[in-house]
Amino acid sequence: MRPFRLPPPSRIVVSLLLAGGLLSPLQAADLSALRVAENNDHTRAVLDLSSAADYRLFMLDNPARVVLDIEGSRPLAGFSADGVADGLVRSVRTGRQGKDLRVVFDLDADAQPKSFLLTPSEGQGHRLVIDLYPKAGAAKVVPVKTIGQALSSGERDLVVAIDAGHGGKDPGAIGPKKTYEKTVTLQIARELKRQIDAQQGMKAVLTRSGDQFIPLKRRYELAREAEADLFVSIHADAVGNRTASGSSVYVLSTRGATSQAARWLAERENSADLVGGITLAERDDTLAAVLLDLSQSGTLKASEDVADEVLGGLKRLGKVHSRQVQRANFVVLRSPDVPSLLVETAFISNPAEEQRLRDPRHQKKLASAVVEGIKRYFGSQPPPGTWFAAQLDKRPAEHVVSRGETLSGIAASYGVSLGNLRSVNGLSTDMVRVGARLRIPGGSG
């Protein structure tokens, strides 16, 4: 955490003492996670706390900020607010204010905050929710855009939800040198987010930003709340045989999806928006089952397609444990409307692979392989209205091979599947000659 100082008192424009003023003393509430997401008419920040909290919230201007002081609190080990931004929130900082934890939300425009505390329910702990509503007449600060950003105006970013497996009281697998799976999955997830955020037309959100426990069902719910186009769960496998090695990619098994349908149908309030806005409560069970099955079928097909591309990226990185996409009934993959896959990056039970998993350089290579697969998939099957969809329309009809180029590199540069590029050009191998003209799938002209 970096320290910071408040401006002179004259710059404080609004001061609010919330939660009923001076409350009876509460146990110090430690901060384990922080999420920010833009909604239709406001921006919502959610803070996960270890207990109920006394807190104060006030506004500062020039520049616009919301300051939150949580009495006697501190961030838990592994907590980070780096990269937390969306909607009105440009960035988040944390620091100490006496014995209290101070959280500062840097804003793009003046806002009116509203807040409330949520008590534990359905596997979730204490939460402090802050809703930021734009002030009437407030002019939102518009950052200077690059030419590339200006050209893509109106084309939304693809959203990738990244789930670091395990966390908090659940350490996951433990390697021979006592490496915790929860630690390396968070490190890889953060690197994956960094690389995705660096790509044009893409952004990433994390289901956990620190060492906290999140129930499996809640993980894919967070992806849905972020309106993610893809959910990727990061893990590190472990078996009794310490020689087992290599990466694997999983999608939800058909049996797992089918067994979940009955539960989704029973939870009508939660499933009303899963089938394009048709309220299941107003339909008979047979029709509801058909509608939900159609939604699942499309999601599972998309999950398989993107998993194939990610597995291809991992194959180019090194050895894979399973050369085909695997299917299993993982709870975390059960979202009916967000394509989802689980990546077992390596066997943490293998001493050599445990060492590689701890290496930041190898973590970067793993993340790059996953990003490569994601880009290939969305390059050929982009959701409408995204930057990737616009690039598909602008793609040239052919490419002339230059010296040093490879077929896989050409496929990656256009965001197309290697298999698709081979197929449309009638190639039986990945060998290409200098000067050859290759048709680009989806190219114009």
Give me the DSSP letters along 326-361.
Answer: EEE--GGG--SSS-EEEEEEEETTSHHHHHHHH-HH
Please report whether residue 2 resides in a domain. Answer: no
Q: What does the pLDDT look like over 38-72, one tens digit per residue?
A: 877 789 999 999 888 888 888 888 888 999 999 88
Gap between the Cα atoms of 404 and 370, Å rounded: 24
Note whether 223 and 207 are within 8 A (CB).
yes
Q: For residue 27, what pLDDT band results from cuts at 50, 70 and 90? A: low
Same domain, 162 and 135: no
- In eight-state DSSP terms, residue 401 is P
Mean pLDDT throughout 395-419? 79
How many alpha carbons lie under 13 Å from residue 133 in its C-beta half-sphere?
A: 7
Q: What does the pLDDT look like over 292-302, one tens digit per residue?
A: 454 556 788 88
Single-letter amino acid code for the residue at 295: S
Note whether 141 and 108 are within 8 A (CB).
yes
| 211 contacts: CB under 8 Å, gap ≥ 6 | 32, 76, 77, 78, 79, 167, 168, 182, 183, 186
CATH of the domain at 433: 3.10.350.10
- Comparison of pLDDT for 263 and 212, the residue scoring more: 212
The residue from 380, 411, 426 where one domain ends is 380
Please report whether residue 387 resides in a domain. Answer: no
- In eight-state DSSP terms, residue 168 is T
The residue from 143, 169, 184 where one domain ends is 143
Q: How high is the pLDDT of residue 234?
A: 96
Closest CA to 160 of 201, 113, 202: 202
Q: What does the pLDDT look like over 365-382, one tens digit per residue?
A: 999 999 999 998 998 888
Please report whether residue 444 resides in a domain. Answer: no
- Least confident range of 95-109, 136-150, 188-202, 411-425: 136-150
Same domain, 175 and 251: yes
Same domain, 193 and 337: yes
Q: In this structure, what token pair is assigned to residue 142?
A: 């518009």
H or E element at residue 32: strand 31-38
Question: Domain tally for the chain?
Answer: 3
Gap between the Cα atoms of 20 and 314, Å rounded: 54
111 pLDDT exceeds 80? yes
| 178 contacts: CB under 8 Å, gap ≥ 6 | none
Q: How high is the pLDDT of residue 307?
A: 93
321 pLDDT exceeds 70? yes
The residue from 92, 110, 143 where one domain ends is 143
Note whether 233 and 343 are within 8 A (CB).
yes
Q: For residue 272, what pLDDT band results from cuts at 50, 70 and 90? A: very low
Can you give the residue range of the structural domain that contains 241?
149-380
Gap between the Cα atoms of 401 and 406, Å rounded: 8
Q: pTM for the full model?
A: 0.56
Same domain, 42 and 156: no
Same domain, 173 and 320: yes
Same domain, 137 and 158: no
Q: How high is the pLDDT of residue 270?
A: 33
Same domain, 207 and 355: yes
Q: How high is the pLDDT of residue 57?
A: 87
Q: How high is the pLDDT of residue 154?
A: 58
Mean pLDDT throughout 151-155? 54
Single-letter amino acid code for the residue at 195: Q
* Torsion of the alpha carbons at 59, 64, 70 and 74, rounded to the nearest 10: -160
Q: What does the pLDDT look like over 203-256, one tens digit per residue?
A: 999 999 888 889 888 898 899 888 899 999 999 988 888 888 999 999 987 665
Q: In this structure, what token pair is assigned to residue 439?
A: 């048709």
Same domain, 186 and 95: no
CATH of the domain at 45: 2.60.40.3500
Q: For residue 263, what pLDDT band results from cuts at 50, 70 and 90? A: very low
Q: How high is the pLDDT of residue 395?
A: 66
Q: How high is the pLDDT of residue 297?
A: 67
- Mean pLDDT of all residues in the chain? 78
Mean pLDDT throughout 403-430? 82
Q: How high is the pLDDT of residue 256?
A: 52
Q: For residue 423, what pLDDT band results from cuts at 50, 70 and 90? A: confident
Q: For residue 24, what pLDDT band results from cuts at 50, 70 and 90? A: very low
Q: Taking each helix axis from N to C terminus, what angle separates 351-358 and 360-380, rounded to the nearest 10 degrees? A: 80
Same domain, 185 and 250: yes
Q: How high is the pLDDT of residue 393?
A: 65
